[in-house]
Amino acid sequence: MAEKDLCPCGSGKNYGDCCEPVIKGTGKAASAEALMRARYTAYVKQEIDFIINSCEEGEKIAEIDRKATEDWAKNSTWHGLKILRTEKGKEADEEGIVEFEATYTDKGGLRDVHHEVGYFKKINGEWLYSVGSVKPMTVVREGAKIGRNDPCPCGSGKKYKKCCGR
């Protein structure tokens, strides 16, 4: 199987056999985790309607900023989804929790991790995203640390400690 055919969600399955039917509406997510995987894949594939329509209706959908969601999806390079834990959320359940990390690089080149605990509900036999709690992440510097006596990276010609490092 060619790598380009693999589903972005990290399941190891072909996209057409994994998240595509859920995103395109020809199949339903069998679990809260399956819906979470499809939602991540929708960000990668820029399927904004699915992201919005897979949310619990009512106030939740009204609170979604479509443009911000679309900008985040389009202006990010998505590197992978890691499921950290699940609680309930199976076919026989009515509620579920999926804790996950989605790694991406923003348009400014900053690599980041979106760490969230997502809450899901099954309504009329269909899994929907209800609400999420975003976990703050520790920022990890990718480049070398600037020393106090190094030239300031702003280009002023001053030492870092006498310029931006104050």
Domain that holds residue 33: 15-139
**Rounded-to-integer distance, Cα 123 and Cα 83, Å:** 23
What would the pLDDT profile of 32-48 be if each residue is shown by its tens digit? 999 999 999 999 999 99
pLDDT in the model for residue 85: 96
Asked if the structure places residue 161 within a domain, the reply is no
Report the chain's mean pLDDT, rounded to a whole number.
Answer: 87
Asked if the structure places residue 104 within a domain, the reply is yes
* Rounded alpha-carbon distances, angstroms, from residue 37 to 29, 44, 132, 140, 152: 9, 11, 15, 26, 43
pLDDT in the model for residue 1: 47
Greater confidence (130 vs 139) lies with 130
Asked if the structure places residue 28 within a domain, the reply is yes
User: What CATH number is given to the structural domain containing 58?
Assistant: 3.10.450.50
Which spans in the chain are helix H?
20-24, 32-45, 48-53, 59-62, 66-74
Contact 70, 4 (CB under 8 A): no
Asked if the structure places residue 94 within a domain, the reply is yes
Using a pLDDT cut of 90, give the percent of the chain over it. Answer: 66
What would the pLDDT profile of 67-125 be if each residue is shown by its tens digit? 999 999 999 999 999 999 999 999 999 999 999 999 999 888 889 999 999 999 999 99
As for how many domains the chain has, the answer is 1
Asked if the structure places residue 156 within a domain, the reply is no
